[in-house]
Amino acid sequence: MNIKKVLPLLAALILACAAVVVTGCGTETTTTGAAGSSDVTATTGAATETTQTPSSGSKNISIGTSGPGGTFYPIGIGIAEAMTRDMAGVTATAETTAGSIENIRLLKAGKLNFGLAPLSTAIPGFEGTAPFDAPMDIRIVGTLYSDALVLIVKKGSIASVADLKGKKVAVGKPGDGVETAAQALLAGVGLSYDDISEQFIGGDAASSALVDGTIDAMFELGAHPMASVVELSQTADIDLVSVDRSILEKIIAEKPQYVISTAEVGVYSGIDYAVDNLGNVAALITGAAEDEQTVYEAAKAVYAHGADIAQVHPAGAQIAAENGLQAKGIVDYHPGAIKFFTEEGLWK
């Protein structure tokens, strides 16, 4: 399937055009475009095939993404197209899943070849800490782009993260990328769940609860511009809470898997100011037992086609080999990925 044929399917998501700046590790990258949402949007059931029809005699490769409303879904479609195009005899399929936690569990079970996950979920998966009961035997293929954690509130109601004390706050689902990043941000301002009334909901359920006043604030995670936030900003009077950079720098010093993410003016309707917040680095992951040559060829294909993937979602513009090592020293890379980055002169 050609990437250009995917664009009409995503037209409903393309609601705004914006410039987004993501800052981390001393570099700054600008992307333009639209579409996107949380990368942990839930779906029901096991992984579901969404793209590519295997041809006779081809090797089938499956890539776990998210629900159709998540950033991982269009990114996964672009990655599948890149692999199918460049890997001889391979048909790659992007599959809808419940998001990063399920992707890791499906990799462990041998039901996926690759998956997408933020480092905040990949790290506990690698280490075997909550929400996982044991190490999931995953490896990094490469880091791709930075998501942003946004704090959404009713206009004029809450000015800072510290103001969440005593409030009802939607923090995503237990153990997902939203919740993990939200906990890191709360801790950065000296808060914990002891100080707020945490609500384990996300996505559309959280948006509806914010609009009807059931909750006071919600966290959402995705690559700017997030379709869910675009829609909310067009249908309700909201603010996005910007976080002081000194707080973000303190968190990043302790947790290097995070970066600073900035949504510039004009990304969302009614938000006429830049919004700084915690960025969560997204990665392509695989199982430790995956074939080395397959992983090598997959990495080569993905990093050769960042510009093509950007046609599906603007976050693809960040996908480049030089941005692929942000997890080095944090989570083990697969030998096939190490081979690729060594050939590129980047693995030192």
**Per-residue pLDDT for the chain (348 aa), expressed as one digit of tens each?**
444 444 444 444 433 333 333 444 333 333 333 333 334 333 333 455 544 444 455 799 999 999 887 789 999 999 999 999 999 999 999 999 988 999 999 999 999 999 999 998 999 999 999 899 999 999 999 999 998 999 999 999 999 999 999 999 999 988 888 899 999 999 999 999 999 999 999 888 999 999 999 999 999 988 888 878 888 999 999 999 999 999 999 999 999 889 999 998 988 999 999 999 999 899 999 999 999 999 999 999 999 999 999 999 999 999 999 999 999 999 999 999 999 999 999 999
Q: Name the burial class of residue 9, with classes exposed (0-12), middle (13-18) and buried (19+) by CB atoms within 10 angstroms of its CB.
A: middle
pLDDT of residue 289: 97
pLDDT of residue 176: 84
State the CB neighbour count (10 A cutoff) for residue 198: 21
CATH superfamily of 22-146+281-343: Periplasmic binding protein-like II (3.40.190.10)
Residues 52 and 82: their CA atoms lie apart, in Å, by 12
CA distance from start to end of the chain = 36
Q: What angle do CA 271, 238, 71 make, to 5 degrees?
A: 75
Q: Which long-range contacts (CB under 8 A, 24 or more apart) does 270-274 make?
A: 270/155, 270/233, 270/237, 270/238, 271/233, 271/238, 271/239, 271/240, 273/242, 274/242
What does the domain layout of the chain look like in residue ranges? Answer: 22-146+281-343, 148-279
Q: Of 69, 20, 50, which is closest to residue 316 (Cα–Cα)?
A: 20
User: Is there a shared CATH topology between the 22-146+281-343 domain and the 148-279 domain?
Assistant: yes
At 194 the three-state DSSP class reads coil
Taking the CA atoms of 289, 291, 293 and 298 in sequence, report the sign of the dihedral they define: negative
Would you give the distance in Å from CA 324 to the centre of its chain?
14
**Residues 107, 115: contact at Cβ < 8 Å?**
yes
**Residues 115, 40: contact at Cβ < 8 Å?**
no
Beta bridge partners of 142: 284
Residues sharing a CB contact under 8 Å with residue 123, sequence separation 6 or more, in sequence order: 257, 330, 331
Residues 203 and 310: their CA atoms lie apart, in Å, by 23
CATH superfamily of 148-279: Periplasmic binding protein-like II (3.40.190.10)
Question: What is the pTM for the complete model shown?
Answer: 0.78
**Residues 286, 107: contact at Cβ < 8 Å?**
yes
Residues 282 and 327: their CA atoms lie apart, in Å, by 10
**Residues 281, 24: contact at Cβ < 8 Å?**
yes
Where helices occur in 42-131 by DSSP H, the ranges are: 72-86, 100-108, 119-127
Residues 48 and 43: their CA atoms lie apart, in Å, by 9
